[in-house]
Amino acid sequence: MSTAFRSCFVLSGFILAYFTYLLLGALVFSAIERPVEETLKSNLDSLKAEFLNLSCINATALEAFLEKVLKANKYGVSVLENGTLHTNWDLASSLFFANTMVTTVGYGHTTPLSDGGKAFSIVYALIGVPFTMLVLTACVQRLMHPLTYGPISMCQRRAGLQPRAASVVHFIVLLVLVVLFFFVVPALVFSTIEETWSFLDSFYFCFISLCTIGLGDFVPAEKPGQRLRALYKISVMVYLFVGLMVMFLVLRTFHKLADVHGWTAFFQLPSYEEEHEDKEPIVEREPDDESPEAEKASIKPQNPSSQVSYNSINR
Amino acid sequence: MAAPDLLDPKSATHNTKPRLSFSSKPIVYNSGDDCDTITTVMKWKTVVAIFLLVVLYLIIGATVFKALEQPQESTQKYLIVQEKINFLSRHACVNVSELEDLVKQVVLAIRAGVNPSGHPSNESSMWDLSSSFFFAGTVITTIGFGNVSPHTKGGRIFCIIYALLGIPLFGFLLAGVGDQLGTIFGKGIAKVEKMFVKWNVSQTKIRVTSTVLFILFGCLLFVALPALIFQHIEGWSALESIYFVVITLTTIGFGDFVAGGSEIEYLDYYKPIVWFWILVGLAYFAAVLSMIGDWLRVISKKTKEEVGEFRAHAAEWTANVSAEFKETRRRLSVEIYDKFQRAAYIKRKLSSELGQNPGQDMMPCKRTLSVNFTDELEKEGLPTLTKNGSLYLNGLTPDFPDRGEISIIEHLK
């Protein structure tokens, strides 16, 4: 009973911490962004007033026009002169769109307009998201050997370090390499190719995409008149996929590190650990011949790397 | 089972729900098996195969989207261009460049979240406390709608740091919520299972029924009900509401539809309820998605097994066939050799009767062969023949005795 109580306690502690964190974020964002918004609003007001003064249009006609423009813009259709040339749904762009969907990044710069498209997206996402997670887990599991276990055991053998120290050293090196090659270098590349992006913007874009948040305020290859658009989009796709895999790898390595240091035992919700053994799974594996293996798997110690369930993907 | 992946909101629930332990499935392809090299080879092959499958899936999706969406897009384009032309013709004092400028500014404003249509009221802001709270929530859950996003340098840097810390924190939370959810569901389903056991239904059926129940009940609670509510409050169509629910709960989060994002007057507690629903719904969806993933894995494992079985059968069959073939060849060659032996014997007899010298040099091996085969002339059971035959015909082609015999016969002539 005490463990159940303790788990409830821990859970409510987390919820409270989460709320506080959100509140803090809200306050900071509000404080930073609101003044900028005010400026933009007043600029827009004056622009509209100017426009109306100069010309013979009345306000309602302009409003109606603007509404239509905005509606079109929401669909990614630009009314500007050079905007009619490219389409958002050629093969490369559709591929990019499908990729952002299954990796759950979801920029939103193009969204399905038709009812058929929306219905298809629902089904596509429901199947594609677990599918992608499966692939990424498989790849990461495979990559763990040369990239994590190998170097760590090498460290232990050559340098004679303890497992704990070796894993820490390895993790730091991995982190530095990942930040360098998957954030800094691509950010440089993006800031060169996209003229309106600064280095910070590109770095922000890389981060937001690789965490699969995908706000969509920056999307590469969207400039009208972009050269080699298809190639650019496809290389961005590849970068996102590989980057996602690497993020999972980093998280999984961190998990192993935490395991080695015993942190996971500390942070785990206590009910999880103890009750696991005697809880019967609701859904036994569909084929019954898997059950002996299942027991073997469940007895395995807390080794996150043995966890294959697709959802145990570290990002 | 391993520690929950607390650092990843999507995965967190999965591990901590042993009751709905879709996750405690045994390891599939990357099973730490005995022979490392063999599993290495298999792992790569499996991974590559699955990777190709994903690429194929993406290509299929791309073609379908293109086919569905491009016509709509063209229609929109056409409409808006018409609109522009009409506007310009109706209001002759406006020139094109001015209009373009205005439109550019308006579009930028929209992307900043400011709605220039109507009078941008000073009361409602996209960055008041409740909206910022909502935005922070979308960042941490990695949904990332994007209808509102930071535009200042400071805002962006803060966003990065905020996400770095917040996503693991949310992962912890989701793990806990998932656990509680699993417990509640598990208790309910255990009760149902008890009922079924009384009726003497098989275990598998119980399990399957409970899964189906779980899915249906969860769908009702977390998908259908909210979709109805959104339909009513936001004024979306049924399809759009379901689309929004699915896109949000899988954390894709396009942002074309956002609950609480339009200009409607919302009740005070609307946004917090939406946020709470997202939290619990995410836990549910993680469970559903993991189940689908497990099924896909089971299917792939079954396919692999079947392929393995098929290969094993094929290998066995091939081995059998080649063994039989070899045996037939041996039998044939033995028979042929036997016949030649007889012919030679008859010839010798004839030649000896005709008074010729029978004592030719026969090649020693042939003599031994002939000796053995005269023993076997009675044609004992083929197995013994083949056994002896195999000893002596080892390395000898069927042609060899023929040629040898022919030369002997010629010698004798």
Closest residue, chain A, to B211 (C-alpha): A283
End-to-end CA distance of chain A: 34
pLDDT at B356: 61
Hey, is the C-beta of A49 within 8 angstroms of any chain B C-beta?
no
Identify the helix (H) or strand (E) that includes residue A266: helix A263-267
Please indicate whether, in this complex, the C-beta atoms of B290 and A272 are within 8 angstroms of each other.
no
Closest by CA to B253, choosing from B157, B117, B134, is: B134
Tell me the mean pLDDT per 10 residues along chain A, length 315: 66 67 66 68 75 74 77 67 62 81 86 79 84 78 78 76 78 89 92 88 92 88 76 88 88 77 57 30 36 35 36 42
Q: Please give the DSSP secondary-structure letter assigned to residue A225.
A: T
B59 burial level (CB within 10 Å; 0-12, 13-18, 19+): middle
The per-residue pLDDT for B174 is 77
**Closest residue on chain A to B73 (Cα):** A77
Which residue of A65, A264, A300 is in closest CB contact with B87?
A: A65
Interface-testing mutation among B44, B45, B48, B103, with chain A (most A C-beta atoms within 10 A): B103
Which two tokens mark A268? 């785990």
What pLDDT does A309 receive?
Answer: 36
Check the CA dihedral B305-B307-B308-B312 and report its sign.
positive
Report CB contact under 8 Å: A133, B10: yes
DSSP assignment, residue B301?
H
In angstroms, the separation between the Cα of residue A72 and the nearest Cα of chain B is: 6
What DSSP line would sit under A113-162, residue for residue? -SHHHHHHHHHHHHHHHHHHHHHHHHHHHHHHIIIIIHHHHHIIIII---
Residue B44 sits at the chain A interface (C-beta within 8 Å): yes
Q: Looking at chain A, how many residues does it have?
A: 315
B100 touches chain A (CB under 8 A): yes
d(CA B181, CA B184): 5
Residue numbers in B near A146 (CB within 8 A)? none
Quote the DSSP letter at residue B3. Answer: P
Compute CA distances A275 → A9, A281, B171, whole Å.
17, 12, 21
B145 in contact with A, Cβ within 8 Å: yes
The pLDDT, as a whole number, for residue B127 is: 73
Q: Within 10 A of B198 (CB to CB), how many other CB atoms are there?
A: 8
- Number of Cβ within a 10 Å radius of residue A13: 12
Chain Cα centroid distance, residue B156: 36
Which of B118, B240, B294 minimises the CB distance to A63?
A: B118
User: Distance (Å, rounded) from C-alpha B65 to C-alpha B70?
Assistant: 8
CA distance to partner chain A, nearest, from residue B236 (Å): 12
The predicted structure's pLDDT at residue A203: 93
Q: How many CA atoms lie within 13 A of B348 on its CB side?
A: 14
Q: At CA A106, angle to CA A100 and CA A108, rounded to 5?
A: 115
Chain B residue numbers with beta carbons less than 8 Å from the beta carbon of A213 are 138-139, 142-144, 163
Q: What is the pLDDT along chain B (413 residues), one digit of tens a residue?
A: 333 344 444 554 444 333 333 333 333 333 333 344 444 444 566 667 766 777 777 777 677 767 766 777 777 777 777 887 888 788 777 777 877 888 887 777 776 666 666 554 555 666 777 777 788 888 888 898 888 778 777 788 888 888 888 887 787 777 777 777 777 777 777 777 777 777 776 766 777 777 777 788 888 888 899 999 998 888 889 999 999 999 999 899 888 888 877 766 777 678 778 888 888 888 888 777 666 666 667 766 776 777 778 788 888 888 888 888 888 888 888 889 889 999 999 999 999 888 765 555 444 444 444 444 444 444 444 444 344 433 343 444 444 444 444 444 444 44
The shortest CB-CB distance from B100 to any of A55, A81, A200 is to A81
What is the number of other CB atoms lying within 10 angstroms of the CB of residue A118?
Answer: 22
Residue with tokens 């016969």: B409
Beta-carbon contacts of B139 under 8 Å, excluding residues fewer than 6 positions away, are A25, A213, A215, B159, B162, B163, B166
What is the predicted ipTM? 0.71
Cβ contact (<8 Å) for B91 and A55?
Answer: yes
Q: Is B249 at the interface with chain A, CB within 8 A? A: no
Cβ contact B280:B8 at 8 Å: no
Cβ of A104 within 8 Å of Cβ of B146? The answer is: no
Instruction: Give residue B328's pLDDT.
Output: 87
